[in-house]
Amino acid sequence: VRHSLSRGKAKMALLILAKYWTRHSTGKRKKAAFDSDLYYRYAPALLTHSERIAKEMVTTLIRIDKKLLDPARLIPAFVRYDAARKLRQREMKDKKDSAEDGGRGVINEAPHQGIRYFSNVVDSTDMKDPAVHNYLVSLLVEHPRDDPLIKFVERWGHEPVYEYKLALAMCHRHNKMRAASEIHKVVGEYEEAIKVALTINLQLAQLIAIEAEKAGVDEERSKKLWLLVARHVIEVEKHDVEMATRKVSDILKHCSLRIDEVLPFFPDFVKIGSFKGEVVRSLEQYNQKIRSLKEEMDEHTKTAQRIRADIEAQRNRTAVVSETRRCDLSGEQVTARPMTAFPCGHVFLTDKLVSNVIKFAQKKPRALVIPLLLLYVL
């Protein structure tokens, strides 16, 4: 390989490396260990030779068993490839600019072989090396389109192997705001995701707020997210209050925000008539809550009355408890402390009974807990 490269025959050196792996994989070199250092040593020269040779070299690397090569040790070679590739692109651009068409020609850029190789490594193996993931992110942020980076971020979800703060810094440096918003979202930083999304478009911010609700954020946090969206609309459309009211009205139809939570952010002179539908809807919600609370209070009142009646009916009843009787819960003697005896014959120390009832009542709906507490008080 070294001899071929010294004579400028990169194609021949590449064929030797490819044939070396083929002979090893077909079993013709079973007794000999695979020498991965050959690829680490000569990858820089082959990757930087030309785009065509770099493409064939990556094809060879992809074919090699992933257990036999450490992708992290190939990063320096691809760093040199990336630098050589950028230099070739600048030279091509200078030639286009100096042409008679004044630079109107389009440079046909070949796919980045570093992205091709490391994407294959990450997709086809259980690669959990942060160095590999971080380097792939550094390549993807320089890609002309956002889609490859966004797909990579979505794939690794809320447990990224790459350092997400480093990835965010690179996204901001290369103006990949859509990807930055996606990174914030997948790690659960919905507030920051919406703030970044609002610099792109309103629909993206609304979509993130909806996805946050589907992810199970609590109602209070969900309202804060939607308030970020609503406040942004009001601020952007501050010179067109009518447009702001229409957009905010549309937002209120898709979230749990109420009109009274949004109105403080509007100018004092805004007409309430613009929110007639939302005001009516908000009043109806308040009325429904008041009715529900009234029904709940009535039910508790009836329950308390029944408890009082039961207590009154039990005043004249008696039960005989021997001085050696023990609490059916704790096993302690009951004669020296306040106790409760039931018609069925069970006897309990009152404090033990109350603590045990409350412990189980906490697992029940609130409507069951309140009567039990009333029983204790009465």
CB 268 within 8 A of CB 300: no
- d(CA 14, CA 111) in angstroms, rounded, equals 20
Strands 347-349 and 339-341: antiparallel
Ranges of residues in the chain with a pLDDT under 50 are 100, 102-108, 367, 372-378
- d(CA 221, CA 88) in angstroms, rounded, equals 50
* The pLDDT of residue 102: 46
Using CB atoms within 10 Å of the CB of residue 315, give its burial: 0 to 12 exposed, 13 to 18 middle, 19+ buried. exposed
- d(CA 89, CA 108) in angstroms, rounded, equals 10
- d(CA 75, CA 169) in angstroms, rounded, equals 20
- Taking phi over 0 as left and psi of -120 to 50 as alpha, with beta for the rest, 157 belongs to left
Report the candidate in 223, 177, 225 with the shortest Cα–Cα distance to residue 197.
Answer: 177
Looking at residue 296, its amino acid is E
Q: Given the structure tokens 């459309």, which residue do they identify?
A: 237
How far is the CA of 315 from the CAs of 163, 262, 308, 311, 343, in angstroms? 71, 57, 11, 6, 13
Q: Given the structure tokens 């996606």, which residue do they identify?
A: 182
Q: In sequence order, which residues have a C-beta less than 8 Å from that of residue 81 and are 6 or more positions away?
A: 44, 47, 48, 54, 113, 114
Q: Say what the pTM is.
A: 0.67
How far is the CA of 54 from the CAs of 27, 43, 142, 292, in angstroms? 27, 9, 19, 71
**Gyration radius (Cα) of the chain, Å:** 36
